Each structure stands twice: as C-alpha cells, then as structure tokens.
C-alpha cells in the first residue's frame, strides 16, 4: 500500500510543480546573497574582496541570512500549504469520490491511516532534503572563496551550544539540512492527520497553516530549530521542538480516533 501511495504522489504533476517552486525559492535566496555580496564588486569592475564575503554555509538558504528573510517566509512559513497540495489533502479527495471506502474494505483503516502519514513524511523529507542540498552545493561553488568568519567568532562567545555549531559550520549545515527535512516533514504529517478530521479543503488549509504559524510566532519559535548560526540556545530550541511534537501528536490522535476507532467509514 505504501508503494501505491508513493507512486500516486510521484505521478501527480502537482508534486513536480511544488518541488520546482521550492527549488526556485532557494535559488532566489542564492540570488539575493550573490547580489548583496558579489554584484557590487563586479558592477564597478573591482576584484571580489573574498575576505569580506561570509563563508558558504552562512550564505545558504538554511542559514536564512538573506536580506529580509523573504525566502524563509515563502518556503518555511507556509510549507504546510505546499505539502497539502502534494499529498496531505489526498484523503479529502478520496473520501469525496468514494475511493477511501474502497480502500478501507480491502485494508484496515489503521493501515490506510498510517500509510498516508508515512507517505507524506517521506515525500516531504525528500523534497526538503533535495532542494536544500542543491542550494548548499551551489553556495559552495559560488561563495566557496569567502573567508569572513566574524559571525562564527561572535557565536563562540554566546554559549557552549552556539560555540559547537560555529566550530564546524560546514558539517553542521548538513546536519541542519536533515533537521529541516525532519521538522518540515512533521508539519506535513500534522496536515495529513488533520485531513482525516476536516473534510472541507478551505478549512483544512486554513487550520493547518494557523497551527504552523502559531509555532512560528510563539515565544518558542520553531524557526529557532530550523536555523543554525543564531544566538538561540537549547533553552529555546528544545521547547520549540516539543511544541511541534505536541501539535503533531495531537493531530494524529484526533485523526486516529475519528477515522480508525470510529465505526464510520
């Protein structure tokens, strides 16, 4: 059943539209950093002062160092909407056309429920990991000669956790790509679980985005989990991640009770 679910998502044209939108956002982030760090030198025919250009990890999309943070808003802040388009709202469509009833007669409701959640997690993880990894590779190529480490020297004085991150910027950036993939995929799982409770798409999209933005704008900002090279310590990161887990677990529990424990198909 999982293979069928993944195959259906991969055959959906919307999957590739969303993927290239996300990839385009990371390239837009690269363009902003290139424009701010490299273009001024080229414009006036000067050699690039690489000593004034941050090292590549700090200029990646995951580091969220571009001016205005617009790319983070376009990608991370509204990520639930993207994954709903790709896969998380599939239950609503299947329910309305009667496909869910057919699936439930061939397989247990529990298996259908958790298969959809797992498929959503896997697709979300793959999309985030691939787009962020491509961005990282491009930044290593474009900004590979940058040597400015002032930020990392300041982070060394902010605490043990920040100092550890700053000591291994290249390795830790890859670790944070994986963290982004996991966290954003969990937001997709939350949306998929909510789709079993909310059958009206406009309310599903609205509630999913509202829950995510609550986590983005709360005192324990989920963005502190996603971004390396900041002053945020474990005292903020751990509560933020626990808040996400509570939202995800709550959504799964409600969806499970409604569509698995309930006798109604």
Task: Report the SS3 class of residue 10.
Answer: helix
Q: What is the pLDDT of residues 119-166, one digit of tens each?
A: 999 999 999 999 999 999 999 999 999 988 888 888 888 888 888 998
Q: Is 72 part of any domain?
A: no
Return the minimum-mean-pLDDT range out of 102-111, 153-162, 165-174, 223-232. Answer: 102-111
Residues 195 and 204: beta-carbon distance below 8 Å: yes
pLDDT beyond 70 at 203: yes
Q: Is 231 part of any domain?
A: yes
pLDDT beyond 80 at 219: yes
The mean pLDDT value for 92-116 works out to 68
Q: Is 64 part of any domain?
A: no
d(CA 150, CA 62): 19
Q: Find the DSSP H helices in 12-144.
A: 13-37, 39-43, 70-72, 79-83, 90-97, 99-106, 109-142
Q: Is 215 part of any domain?
A: yes
Q: Is 36 part of any domain?
A: no
Q: Is 48 part of any domain?
A: no
Q: Is 171 part of any domain?
A: yes
Q: What angle do CA 39, 40, 42 make, to 5 degrees?
A: 60
Q: For 54, which DSSP code?
A: B
Task: State the pLDDT at residue 227.
Answer: 93
Q: Is 249 part of any domain?
A: yes
pLDDT beyond 90 at 18: yes
Which of the four pLDDT bands, split at 50, 70 and 90, describes residue 103? low
Task: State the pLDDT at residue 128.
Answer: 98
168-174: long-range contacts, CB 8 A cutoff, minimum separation 24: 169/55, 169/57, 169/58, 169/228, 169/229, 170/56, 170/57, 172/57, 172/228, 173/57, 173/60, 173/62, 173/63, 173/136, 173/228, 174/136
pLDDT beyond 80 at 54: yes
Number of domains making up the chain? 1
Of 74 and 4, which is predicted with more confidence? Answer: 74
Task: State the pLDDT at residue 151.
Answer: 85
State the residue range of the domain holding 225. 2-13+78-134+149-261
Task: State the pLDDT at residue 106.
Answer: 54
d(CA 265, CA 258): 10
């Amino acid at each position: 059943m999982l293979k069928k679910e993944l195959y259906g998502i991969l055959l959906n044209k919307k999957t590739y539209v969303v993927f290239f939108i996300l990839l385009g956002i990371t390239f837009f982030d690269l363009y902003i950093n290139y424009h701010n760090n490299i273009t001024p030198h080229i414009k006036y025919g000067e050699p690039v002062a690489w000593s004034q250009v941050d090292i590549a990890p700090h200029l990646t999309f995951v580091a969220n160092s571009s001016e205005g943070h617009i790319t983070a808003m376009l990608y991370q802040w509204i990520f639930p909407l993207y994954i709903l388009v790709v896969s998380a709202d599939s239950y609503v469509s299947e329910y309305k056309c009667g496909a869910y009833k057919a699936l439930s007669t061939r397989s247990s409701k529990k298996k259908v429920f958790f298969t959809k959640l797992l498929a959503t997690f896997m697709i979300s993880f793959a999309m985030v990991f691939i787009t962020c990894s491509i961005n990282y590779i491009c930044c290593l190529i474009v900004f590979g000669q940058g040597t400015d480490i002032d930020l990392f020297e300041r982070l060394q004085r902010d605490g043990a956790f920040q100092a550890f991150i700053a000591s291994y910027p290249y390795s830790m950036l890859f670790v944070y790509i994986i963290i982004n993939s996991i966290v954003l995929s969990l937001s997709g799982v939350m949306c998929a679980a909510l789709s079993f409770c909310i059958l009206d798409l406009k309310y599903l999209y609205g509630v999913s985005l509202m829950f995510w933005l609550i986590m983005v704008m709360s005192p324990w900002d989920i963005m502190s989990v996603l971004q390396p090279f900041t002053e945020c310590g474990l005292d903020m990161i751990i509560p933020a991640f626990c808040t996400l887990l509570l939202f995800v677990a709550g959504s799964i529990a409600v969806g499970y009770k409604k569509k698995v424990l309930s006798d109604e198909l």
